[in-house]
Amino acid sequence: MNKRIIFILCNIIFLLAGCWDEQPIEEHGFAIGSSIDLAEEKNEGTYNVMFTSQFVVTSGFGTPAQGSGGGKKSFMNLSVTGESIFESSREMSTKTSLTPFYEHLKVIVVSSDIAKEPNLFSSLMDIFLRDHEMRRGIRVAVTEGEAKSLLEINPENEKLPAMYINEVLKKNAKSIEVMDPVTMGVLQQYLLTKSSYVLPMLLSEENEINSEGGAVFHGQENKMIGTLSNDEMKGLNFIKGKVNGGIVNLEVDGQSVIYEIKNARSQIKIDTQNPNNMNISVSIKAEGSIGEKFGSQSLKDPKYQAKLEKNVGKAIEQLAMKSLEKGQNELNADIYGFDSILKQKHYDVWKEVKDKWITGDQLFTKTNVQISAEAIVRSIGSSDVTHEKGVE
Amino acid sequence: MNRFEYADNKFSEIEMMIAIPSFIIGVGILSLPQALASATTAMDGVFSILIAGGIVTFITWAIAKFAASFPDTTFISYASLIVSKPVAILLTFLFAIVFFSITAYQVRKIADISKQYLFDQTPVEVISLTFFLVIIYAVSGSRVGIIRLNMMFFPFILFIAIIVVIFNLNWFKFSNFLPVFQSNINDYLTGVNKSLFSFGGFGILWFYMAYVNKPNKAPKMAALGTGFPIALYALIFLACIGVYGESVTASMLYPTVELAKMVEIPGGILERFESIFFVIWIMAIFNTTAMAFDITVLAINLVFHHIPKIKIIFLLSPLIYAIAMYPQNLIEVSAFETFLNYAVFYYSIFVLVLLFVVAKIRGVKPSE
């Protein structure tokens, strides 16, 4: 019996001694944000890119008793230049005592220089989809200028710039100037279906980050082809019907009124009678309240209210038209998702026009799009009139 | 060392009902949505699953019914009655080979997947060995023990799968489901074909039916048991399409695992949900592998009854391990998989048809 136990124990030594994947948690370098910049173009089609990762320095946080970690920085940025991101991230581990660990990566910022090179952006995204450490919830954004500088800002209320960027991207879902955050998983869908899409555009200004319109990517050319201004983003979001907040400025009787949108939905109908000349009708329905109003006109007046609602509708139509104008005529990029509606609702037609939609006959640019918008003012706030009409 | 002895060596019909889905649910579902999404348009794959499910339920019922008409008789004895002893031995032996290969395949596949997502540095050989050692331990115990282990694991498996789907509802885009009914007949058939194989669990009935204590109730229960994986697979497939859309699902290796990776428990408490999913799913694969190995041993034991079970296990184990390690890469493993799927599925049907027809012609009646 004794011999048997010793025999088993000896075997256990072999089974328990080695753990290949042993990884003490204090040696993990938790990367929470990354940026990609173009370093140089080597030859035709090959590039050197600078990959920067932001790692959390846990000691920088301090313990609750110590207060705020004694002025130590709570993050560390590492940059490596190389041809591929995988190579760079491996090289990164030789530069630090930590092992880079990307399971908790939150956000990737790509500079527009990268985005404008054909096929480069999508190729660089490969590792974020292939590597088992990467998650599909990573948010992707584009910035004009150097992307690395976004990871270096010093936000007032956040310790970690990457977390700050992440929060800014998340909050944006509440306003219509900016895109819903685009995650890696959704991005892959765009890339695989060769659809055109828009990524949120960020600008860094000293210690804060501004969302500034969007970067338009062309599905077929596979590169960034232009930007949308804030107003054009509003229009785009109205057409897509994904609005959960935000404001529309308008004028009624020469006085400016701020209409606050609670939500807006759109209905897109495509008439495919003549596949070479399709009619698309977009009807937008918005609901909201009056956020701010100048002048002394009473909002309880039904006539005024009707006029107000009509003007809001017009303002929305204008925004949508302006955006459509840009996408359809200037950029030739179907960022409105008409192609996927065709595919989902008119599959037979889609099979026919698939190759002629953007390329070839460019059917997309030839479609007639009718936009109509209706707005409802649900509430006017807690006070009707702030001041009586002054003596003129 | 004393082994725990169960009071009875028989399965109840409920245990039989759970054994079927426990055997079916394994590595198949991890990649099934990919196969379906690449064959059919949008959510049409779900119809393939349902059609395949219907077919499989029927076959399961038929095999159970046939085997139940020979209560308390092992496969080899009633097969000898019907098609003579030498042929029966050959049939049993082929079954042994089939289940032997399933065991090897599962051992390899679980190692591949765990390496991909959990153990980056650990060699595949070591992962499979540790997993396989536990399997060997389970199989060298009592047969009823394995079946009862199924009963214990099964609720966890269902629970975790449903949790994964529920937490993904947040990411659902219902427009991904459109267009419906746009695949042509060939696409559906490819889909049915692919899902049929992932439902191939009825083979175990040939051997386990002899141990059921109320054989007349078993066919209904076995058919009911197939319902679980059908519903579960349909649900997971819909979740993949809803969350990723057809094109992304088709490009992923293991969409179901990716689904688990998408889960973010609100509040940032648990970001890496897939590790829990894996722990539970390895239990599911453990059930499948343990039963497959057990049936291999059982089938060989039926042919050579004088060899003790433990000897057969120790003889087979190194062979299984060697075969599991033989394929060099993913492509070879999936070629092995395809071959196996065909073999398991058609061989079971072939045996059913053969025995049924010969029994009818020769008028073999079960001895009352």
| CB–CB contact B244 A185 (8 Å) | yes
- ipTM surpasses 0.90: no
Is A103 in contact with B271 (Cβ distance < 8 A)? yes
Contact B168, B258 (CB under 8 A): no
Please give the average per-residue pLDDT across A103-131, as a whole number.
Answer: 83
pLDDT in tens, A272-305: 777 777 888 888 888 888 878 787 777 777 888 8
Q: What is the mean pLDDT of residues A370-376?
A: 83
Residue B270's pLDDT is what? 67
Residue-wise DSSP of B243-297:
HH-HHHHHH-S-HHHHHHHH---TTSS-S-THHHHHHHHHHHHHHHHHHHHHHHH
pLDDT at residue A61 greater than cutoff 70: no
Residue-wise pLDDT tens digits, B73-99: 888 888 888 888 888 888 888 888 888
pLDDT of residue B1: 45
**Closest chain A C-alpha to B117 CA, distance in angstroms:** 6
Note if the bond before A200 is cis, omega within 30 degrees: no
Round the average pLDDT of chain A to a whole number and report it: 79
Q: Are B247 and A343 in contact (CB < 8 Å)? A: no
pLDDT at B5 over 70: no
What does the domain layout of chain B look like in residue ranges?
13-360
3-state per-residue secondary structure call for chain A: CHHHHHHHHHHHHHHHCCCCCCCCHHHEEEEEEEEEEEEEEEECCEEEEEEEEEEECHHHHCCHHHCCHHHCCCEEEEEEEECCHHHHHHHHHHHCCCEEECCCCCEEEEEHHHHHCCCHHHHHHHHHHHCCCCCCCCEEEEECCCCHHHHHCCCCCCCCHHHHHHHHHHHHHHCCCCCCCEEHHHHHHHHHHCCCEEEEEEEEECCEEEEEEEEEEECCCCEEEEEECHHHHHHHHHHHCCECCCEEEEEECCEEEEEEEEEEEEEEEEECCCCCCCEEEEEEEEEEEEEEECCCCCCCCHHHHHHHHHHHHHHHHHHHHHHHHHHHHHHCCCCCCHHHHHHHHCHHHHHHHCCCCCCCCCHHHHCEEEEEEEEEEEECCCCCCCCCCCCC
Q: Inter-chain contact A21–B120, Cβ cutoff 8 Å?
A: yes
Distance from CA of A266 to the nearest CA of B (A): 14
Model confidence band, residue B355 (pLDDT cutoffs 50, 70, 90): confident
Q: Which residue has the tokens 């141990």?
A: B211
Cβ distance A189 to B248 less than 8 Å, yes or no, reads yes
Q: What is the pLDDT of residues A124-183, one digit of tens each?
A: 888 888 887 787 888 888 888 888 888 888 777 777 888 888 887 777 655 666 667 788
Residue B266: exposure state from Cβ atoms within 10 A (0-12, 13-18, ≥19): exposed
SS3 B212: strand
CA distance B51 to B57: 10
Report the interhelical angle of B124-140 vs B143-168 (nearest 10°). 130
Rounded-to-integer distance, Cα B193 and Cα B338, Å: 11
- Give the integer Cα–Cα distance in Å for B107 and B129: 8
Whether the CB of B2 is below 8 Å from some CB of chain A: the reply is no
Which 3 state secondary structure label does DSSP give B330?
Answer: helix
CB contact at 8 A, A324 and A216? no
- Per residue in B182-235, pLDDT tens? 777 778 888 888 888 778 778 888 888 888 888 788 888 888 888 888 898 888
Question: Token digits for B206?
Answer: 């040939």
Characterize the bridge pairing of strands A208-218 and A368-379: unpaired
Alpha carbon distance A284, A291 (integer Å): 20
Point out which residues pair with A251 in neighbouring strands.
A256
Contact yes or no for A332/A358 (Cβ under 8 A): yes
Tens of pLDDT along B148-169?
Answer: 888 888 899 888 888 888 888 8
Q: Is A345 on the interface with B (CB under 8 A)?
A: yes
CA distance linking residue A188 with residue B48, whole number of Å: 26
- Under an 8 A CB cutoff, do B119 and A345 touch? no
Q: Which residues of B touch A15 (CB under 8 A)?
A: 130
Residues A235 and A335 sit within 8 Å (Cβ to Cβ): no
Give the nearest partner residue to A20 out of B119, B178, B182, using CB atoms.
Answer: B119
Angstroms from B248 CA to nearest CA on chain A: 6
Q: What is the DSSP letter of B11?
A: B
- pLDDT for the residue numbered B368: 45
Among residues B219, B216, B256, B262, the alpha carbon closest in space to that of B235 is found at B256
Rounded Cα–Cα distance for residues A130 and A136 (Å)? 10
* pLDDT over 50 at A190, yes or no: yes
How far is the alpha carbon of B76 from chain A, nearest alpha carbon, in Å? 38
Tell if the CB–CB gap between A104 and B271 is shorter than 8 Å.
yes
Q: Across the interface, which of A20, A136, A347 has its CB nearest the CB of B261?
A: A136
- For residue B269, the model assigns a pLDDT of 64
Start-end of CATH 3.30.300.210 domains in chain A: 230-384
Q: Which residue out of A343, A346, A350, A351 would a mutagenesis test of the B interface target, given it has the greatest number of B Cβ atoms within 10 Å?
A: A343
- Cα(first)–Cα(last) distance of chain A, in Å? 110
Lowest mean pLDDT among A131-140, A177-186, A213-222, A224-233: A177-186
First-last CA distance in chain B: 41
CATH topology of domain B13-360: Amino acid/polyamine transporter I (1.20.1740)
The residue type found at A223 is K
In this prediction, residue A306 carries a pLDDT of: 83
Distance from CA of A191 to the nearest CA of B (A): 9
CATH class of A230-384: alpha beta
Q: How many CA atoms lie within 13 A of B322 on its CB side?
A: 5
Residue A69 confidence (pLDDT): 46
B366 confidence band (pLDDT: 50, 70, 90): low
d(CA A241, CA B176): 16
Give yes or no for residue B22 having a pLDDT over 70.
yes
- Say whether pLDDT at A362 is over 50: yes
Confidence of residue B114 (pLDDT cuts 50, 70, 90): confident
- Provide CB contacts within 8 A for B190, sequence distance 6+: B39, B40, B48
Q: With pLDDT > 70 as the criterion, what percentage of chain B qualifies?
A: 95
